[in-house]
Homo-oligomer: A and B are copies of this chain.
Amino acid sequence: MNEPRYQRRKDDRPAEITQAAFSTFVEKGYAGTRLEEVARRAGVSKGLLYLYFKTKEELFKSVVKNFVVPRLHELETTIASTDLGAEAFLRGPFVDFAHTITRSPVGKIVRLLVAEGPKHPDLLQFYWDNVVSRGIKMIGALLEKGVAAGEFRRSPVTEQPLLFIMPVVFSVIFRLLFGKQDVDTDRLIDTQIDLLITQLKGSTK
């Protein structure tokens, strides 16, 4: 007769709660996020959160794991299945990715990571292993491919994939902080990548 007040949906709860936490973290920041509010958005009680996630920190890790890592995965997949040359890939899909991520909510999680990282060493370790380190390797491999194909010459740049990652991270953060000052982060990214490629293609001296 009466509607049930709730349904048991053990399997879906973690994903739903993580989704709610993602939006809330993005809007309110880590410290600013009330678990009460996460619960409300997920349509559950606060107590239930603690059944699936031991602490607030656990919940944050779940967000990083489920929303940031997959993005990198996409890029890895794209790179693996592309038939573009190294230069074309960098100027095309990679730059697009950089522009997109700069505006995406995922970018805000990156900022949160900067903000909260030092307080959560194991989260940083996880992020290093699953995002940064793999990102570096990915670019590194791409540059090697370029060298092998005779597109690029070796130089300090081929040894430092971070030079490609730097403008992406910088733009994400810069835009979040000073977005209202209308700095053209897209152009910054474009110029940097162009610069790097020019250097890579310059004749060996």
Contacts and interface: CB of A to CB of B under 8 A. Distances in A.
Interface of A: 29, 31-32, 111, 113-119, 124, 128, 132-133, 156-157, 160, 162-163, 166-167, 169-170, 173-174, 176-178, 181, 183, 187-188, 191-192, 194-196, 198-199
A182 to B, nearest CB: 12
Nearest to A169: B170
A196 B173 CA distance: 22
A162 B178 contact: no
Contacts of A163: 188, 191-192, 195
Contact of A119 (B32, B157, B191): B32
A8 B66 CA distance: 56
A132 to B, nearest CB: 7
B173 A114 contact: yes
Contacts of A118: 29, 111, 176-177
A182 B198 CA distance: 28
A148 B38 CA distance: 58
Contacts of A199: 195, 198-199
